[in-house]
Structure formats: C-alpha cells, structure tokens
Amino acid sequence: MRFRELPLSSLEGRNYSHQRLLADRARCEAYRKAILDTVKAGDVVVDLGTGSGLLAFFAVEAGAKKVYAIELGPVIRYAERIAKRNSMDDRIEFIRGVSYDIELPELADVIVGENLGSLGIEENMLPMYQDAAKRFLKPGGKMIPSRLEVSATLVSDTGFHRRYIDPWKSSLYGIYFDTFLHEQLKTLFLAHFDSSRVVSAPQLFLSAKLDAKQTYSEINRKTLRFEIDRDTTLSGFIVYFTAELSEGVSISNGLVGGKNSWDQVYFSIDRVLSLEVGYNVTIHLCTWETRYEFVPSWRITVSDSQGKEIYDYSATRYPLLSLPPDLIGPIVPPAVDSGNRWVAYVLSLLNGNRGKRQLATILSKLDPSLSTDEIEHTLSRAFFFLNTHASIPSMAKPVLPLRDRADFLIQAHFDGTLNCKRIAEIVHFEFPDFLTPEQALERIQYVVTTNVKPTVGV
Ligand SMILES: C[S@@+](CC[C@H](N)C(=O)[O-])C[C@H]1O[C@@H](n2cnc3c(N)ncnc32)[C@H](O)[C@@H]1O
C-alpha cells in the first residue's frame, strides 16, 4: 500500500489542486446532484471557498438568481474569467477574502461549500460553516453539506511498519537514529484502506449538523472503545468522514464506496501488537481547531481479557510550530471565564515573596473595579487549590515551581482576544530567564492541547 504524509500545516499554505478536484467525478457529480435537488429558481446562494467556481456554476445551473462566491486565494481571478467564458458572470459576484471577514448585502437560501479534509474537520469546515450559517443564511435556509460524521476504526498493516517504522529501530552505519522514530509516529499518513485490513467495527468520533444551531466546539474529544472479537494484529487506526450533501446524497472516504480525492488518515502505533479475543482497545482522540490551525492528539491503550493494561502510546502533532509567524499571530486560544483567569493569575504570582496581602494589592491595582469580596473570593479559591493540589512548604508566602507559574500565567491570558504570539510575548516578559518567546509558544500549545478546558481546576 502507498502512504503519503498528510500536509496539515496551514490553511493558507495548502496547495489546492483544482484540476484534481475537478477530475474527481464522484465528488463533483454528488455535489451537482445535491445542488440541483436543493437550489430553487430565484434562490440566493453563497459558495464558501469557491476555488475554480464549480459549485457556484452548478448553483446557476439550478436557477439561482444570485450567487456570492467567496474565496481567499488568488484562484478567484480564474473563477471570474471562467464565469465570463461560460456567460454566468451576470449572476455570480466573486468576493476575495476570508469568509469570516466578509459581510453580504442579503441573506441566502442556500449555502454550499466543500472544505472537507481527509479527517472531515481539519480544513476548519465546522467553524467556517457555523459562522456562515449564523451570518449569511435565511431562517430555514439549507446547507450543503448538511451533516458531517467522523469515524475511526482499528487496522492492521504490517507492511507500513516494515517500511516506515522498523528501519529506525536498528542501527545505520553503527549509529542509532531511533530518536527520529517518535517524530515519525507524530506524522499522520494518508492511505486508502479497504475492509480487509480493518480489525474492528467503526466508532463515531463526531457527528455534527451543519446549521446555525450547530454546537460547534473548537475542541473535540472522545474516548472510543473497541472490543476485539477475533485473534488479530493491530498497527494503528484510521479516521475518515461521511458528509451528507442532501437527502440520499453523500460522499465519504470510508471503507465502502469507490476511491475519491480523499484518502483516510492513518495514525500508527510504534509496533505491531498481537491481539486476542476479549482484548479491549481504547482510543482517546482530541482535536483542537482554530481559524488557521488543527492539532490532533491521540492515545491508544490496550488491555487483555483480564483487564490488565498491556500497551499505552500517545502522541500530539503540533503543526503550529511549522507555521510562518504571520499565521501564528491570529490564533486565539479558547477563552477561560474571568473568575478562573484571576485565580490562575494569582497562582502565577506565587514566587515565595508574596503573601495574601500583597496579592490582594496587586489584584486591586490591576483591576480597580474588583470589589473587596471578589478579591477575597479569588484568593481563597487560589489557596484552596494550593491546599488540595500542590505541596507548598509555607502557606503564608507560597512558592510554586516556575513551570507551573508559567502555565498559570498562560491560562490567565486566555480571554478570547489575545492571540498565541502576544501571550507568548507576555509570558516571556514575566519569565525571561525561563522561557524564550519560542519556548513560550510551545508551552501554550501544550497547555491548550493537554488541558482540554484550560482551568485552574478549582
Ligand atoms: C477544497 S477547495 C473547493 C473548491 C471548490 N468549491 C470545489 O468544490 O471544487 C476549498 C476552497 O476553499 C477556500 N477556502 C477555505 N477556507 C476559506 C475561507 N474561510 N474563506 C474563503 N475561502 C476559503 C480555499 O482557498 C479553497 O480554494
């Protein structure tokens, strides 16, 4: 089987091959059918990420009186010319920009778009569609796709290990390069598995209706449990999507149906494991997405039929670090409510020289609107946290390890407005000898991906 690396690095940097997208007949015909079924004569349509203009052209074919075709990339210039060439330019308005920043003069009957990654969600379809449904869609309007499901299943592929994993385990020229192995395992691979390599029934990781009421979450986290019902081997798991475009029309890169533009995403473990009937495999999968970023992190544990854990492996992929600085800028971590932020801030101040009175003075200077009661409440929550979670030598002037203080300072700045780069600068400013701005950025990533709901835990 052929594997290639999944280029998750950045939305802007993604090199869409519109030629390849247009050549995928299964994809294009499914969209065409769904658009012809859904768009009625005289409808207003929004095409989110028009690319070559394909879906806007189908909407015109369906009778739309007006299509707003939004696209962030330079390909929009070609789409405009293609519209002229096919005499459709009188009904399509091409708008260059990121959909979140665009305002439209009227609401639409239908929103259409194809921003499906191999995992379904890594091209930020969920936030993009939620935003568009809220701001561009008439009440009762339709979305294409209307639903997205992401599934995972266990697989066995010994050939992958022979080719990509095992070579790192032995010496080359008498030197061990196995340090690269873990890096290799953080890579997600694209491949097309058929059901012959699957060793479990699939489990649903996510199921989202793509409408204005969609309860979109930047962080999706789920534990999936698989019971092994035959003796087999395990090399990893795959994740794939199914998108419902309209009633009876869907596209998927799953195990059934023909191959289309999307391969499945393969998450490998570090060795091939033998599994017996009665074993249990658990996958904890967590994905964090923002306007520009997608960070998956995963853990696999295996227990035998007596319930004894025999394997535990976890990895996180940090595409953020490979992003250009101007893209790191706009990333805003998930917001933490202000009460928890103040508690986190107090904890970040615990350097062993500050007692309760000094902490209260700092808080009241920082935010003069805080009442004496609020300050007292914040301090007692911080001290309660210390009592229950940390072993502090002196409660009068407690001291926390630098790393914990830096983590709390990071959390204290998750207010939904500051981006990662700015928070990294602040953390570096406070702890200049402990973290460089680059290390602070890494630490922010860590805090966000490991503390799924960043709170101080009180
Ligand atoms: C997979 S292509 C699909 C193109 C075309 N709709 C089709 O089906 O062939 C996705 C397009 O959406 C654009 N895009 C992604 N996110 C966007 C956003 N938030 N605003 C505007 N365009 C976006 C990308 O630049 C890309 O051209």
Phi, psi angle pair for 22, to nearest 5° = -70, -30
pLDDT for 260 equals 79
pLDDT digits 0-9 by tens, 238-281: 999 999 999 999 999 998 766 778 889 899 898 999 999 999 99
The secondary element (H helix, E strand) that includes residue 78 is: helix 76-85
Query: Helices 356-366 and 338-348 sit at what angle, rounded to 10 degrees?
Result: 130
CA distance 344 to 413: 9
Report the separation in Å between the CA atom of 99 and the middle of ligand 1, taken as the mean of its atom positions.
10
Report the separation in Å between the CA atom of 52 and the middle of ligand 1, taken as the mean of its atom positions.
9
The secondary element (H helix, E strand) that includes residue 48 is: strand 44-48
DSSP type of residue 195: G
Give CA torsion, residues 424, 426, 429, 435, to 10 deg.
Answer: -30
Using CB distances shorter than 6 Å, the residues near ligand 1 are 11, 16, 21, 49-52, 54-55, 70-73, 75, 98-99, 114-115, 128
- In 107-145, which positions are buried (b, 16+ CB within 10 angstroms) versus exposed (e)? ebbbbbbbbbbbbbbbbbbbbbbbbbbeebbeeebbbbb
Report the separation in Å between the CA atom of 56 and the middle of ligand 1, taken as the mean of its atom positions.
12
CA distance 189 to 448: 24
pLDDT for 245 equals 97
pLDDT for 192 equals 86
Establish whether the linkage from the previous residue to 145 is cis, with ω within 30° of 0.
yes
DSSP type of residue 351: B
Give the mutation target among 12, 15, 16, 291 for probing the ligand 1 site: most ligand atoms within 8 A of CB. 16
In whole angstroms, how far apart are CA 456 and each of 346, 363, 390, 407, 422? 11, 17, 12, 10, 21
Point out the ligand 1 atom lying closest to the alpha carbon of residue 47.
Answer: 6
Please tell me the CATH code under which domain 4-144 is placed.
3.40.50.150
Give the mutation target among 32, 114, 245, 294 for probing the ligand 1 site: most ligand atoms within 8 A of CB. 114
CA distance 211 to 244: 13
Report the separation in Å between the CA atom of 22 and the middle of ligand 1, taken as the mean of its atom positions.
13
Query: What are the residues whose beta carbons fall under 8 Å from the beta carbon of 362, sequence distance 6 or more?
Result: 349, 354
CA distance 296 to 220: 9
- Where residue 173 falls (left for φ over 0; alpha for ψ -120 to 50; beta otherwise) is left
Residue nearest to atom 27 of ligand 1 (CA): 51
Report the separation in Å between the CA atom of 269 and the middle of ligand 1, taken as the mean of its atom positions.
33
In whole angstroms, how far apart are CA 212 and each of 89, 111, 169, 334, 335? 29, 11, 50, 20, 21
- Decide if 139 contacts 164 (C-beta within 8 A): no
- Where residue 6 falls (left for φ over 0; alpha for ψ -120 to 50; beta otherwise) is beta
Would you call 367 helix, strand, or coil by DSSP? coil
Residues of the chain with pLDDT under 50: 8-15, 319-330, 451-458
pLDDT for 328 equals 41
Report the separation in Å between the CA atom of 374 and the middle of ligand 1, taken as the mean of its atom positions.
47
pTM exceeds 0.75, yes or no? no
Give the mutation target among 115, 136, 262 for probing the ligand 1 site: most ligand atoms within 8 A of CB. 115
Give CA torsion, residues 115, 292, 127, 44, to 10 deg.
Answer: -50
CA distance 266 to 288: 18
DSSP type of residue 193: -
β strands within 120-231, DSSP E: 137-144, 147-155, 189-191, 203-209, 219-227
pLDDT for 9 equals 38
Residue nearest to atom 8 of ligand 1 (CA): 114
- Decide if 152 contacts 205 (C-beta within 8 A): yes
Q: Please name the CATH architecture into which domain 148-322 falls.
A: Distorted Sandwich (2.70)
What is the CA 442 to chain-centroid distance, rounded?
17
CA distance 69 to 67: 6
- Decide if 268 contacts 168 (C-beta within 8 A): no
Residue among 152, 128, 127 at smallest CA distance from 253? 152
Residue among 128, 131, 135, 148 at smallest CA distance from 292? 128
Q: Which residue ranges make up each domain of the chain?
A: 4-144, 148-322, 338-450
Point out the ligand 1 atom lying closest to the alpha carbon of residue 21.
Answer: 9
Report the separation in Å between the CA atom of 26 and the middle of ligand 1, taken as the mean of its atom positions.
18
Which tokens sit at 331? Answer: 């990333």
pLDDT for 1 equals 66
Residue nearest to atom 14 of ligand 1 (CA): 49
Report the separation in Å between the CA atom of 123 and the middle of ligand 1, taken as the mean of its atom positions.
9
